[in-house]
Amino acid sequence: MFVLAGCRLVIPVGFAVGIKQIAWLGMLLFLVAAVAGVVIANTGNRFEKK
């Protein structure tokens, strides 16, 4: 969740500075982190119910 929040902070900073590439990078990092989190949560027995 902290990684996602950090990525979300990069997006408005990129727009505020006027460099759209930074904002797009933040969006891409957010999507990659979200997908990676879902994959990690659903593989293995890390969050197995007892």
Q: What is the pLDDT of residues 33-44, one digit of tens each?
A: 999 999 988 887
Answer whether 0.75 is exceeded by the pTM.
yes
26 within a domain of the structure (yes/no): yes
Tokens 């990684």: give the residue.
3
What's the mean per-residue pLDDT of the chain? 88
The domain in which residue 37 lies consists of: 2-42
How many CA within 13 A on the CB side of residue 25? 9
| Amino acid residing at 47 | F
50 within a domain of the structure (yes/no): no
8 within a domain of the structure (yes/no): yes
